[in-house]
Chains A and B, each alone.
Chain A
């Protein structure tokens, strides 16, 4: 009998996460963000974490009190972030991260978004490093190894392996095969393939083994280790429509 990958709760799924590990969090804007796993990890309390994600905050299309990396930052659980955004993109925007970064309590590695995605893919593909034209000639490339191929300069980038990936999927079967819906896919399959242990919050009821056609699998179960079905709101966190969030913000 294959061992079940289904966990009874988010808390159970993150209970054994040790201090000082590297965790990748999927999602882009609010879509595909493992909101419930952020909440569980904040409660679990592992410290000294290196957090890999597109940004240091939750999506704008979440209620302001929704869990995000900001919960981990406020809890002093984060040692370092690896992100494509480490500063606000608008003067009006405030990031919890900024205060911790400026006071030296958190380190940051700023990475172009395509390089971040490819470093994860490389880790999952067993490729230790690659060359990319992104960031050549910029401050990010200063003092680093470049090489010319066919007359063009490229920057050496290393794979970014993860200890854990926290992701969100639309459908899963008991074998851990995953389907994402629309732009929910984003970084999620890459985080899964880069990680030793992938933990997935799943939107639909988890299907029996074999219920997903093999040709349709986005992320195969060999990259997936723990599955938790997201309960309906308010117990589980789900993205909301902009008008619903605006109404909450007015309260």
Chain B
């Protein structure tokens, strides 16, 4: 186990180094640097610009700059956001919890709904229930997230059941913490539901076909023939085998927690990473963009690692091979 994890980790580090290099090259390709925007400001003297240029090492050759950048990264320094005037790492740290709240809720809803429904649907394969959920899945896969979010907004507007956009309403200053929490939850409903609807389709289809495959295996017939109790058959034989292929998908979902909700956040005005990224791109806040790209990539890699480890723990066959 430990050897396998270490191998994966070294592997990941290599990929991560590649990503850092890639993002650095991208920044280097960008026309000008953040000082060229400052230079347009008549209130900042050329002397200040020159000293800043030296301070940030912008005049240095490419590889020296890269080494500087790497050294800063190792200290957790992602650079300085020149549209918010705070360090990039602070900004990201502020936004990440809100995004995680949204995406984790969505993941719980989607998995909580899709897995039981898929088991149920697969047991009556081809039935009305199964067929209608299957076509629903098709739709769920095909509707782009930004369109789904727009439709969600329309629902909120027409019914008036949910607040439209944002994460908090302007509460009276005397509102207690319980009231605040309730308010946040009310704002959470629609964005998390639209996100969950978007990922339901893939989950349902995958789990359904996986259950179907397990149901056709000889060991299921054997278990039935032995007269095992239905509950034992279900949990120990059916579910445990069927959920295996989904573990990898779970890792991917974990990896997408930070970046997967970008469109939904932008449309619902949810103050998370996605909106931060959009703002950063719009204002050409280069270090912020690259910081976001890096964070997203790190989480994706971690998710994959976690999935591998879970598969290792759950599936004895994988353990044998490793």
- B is bound to A: no
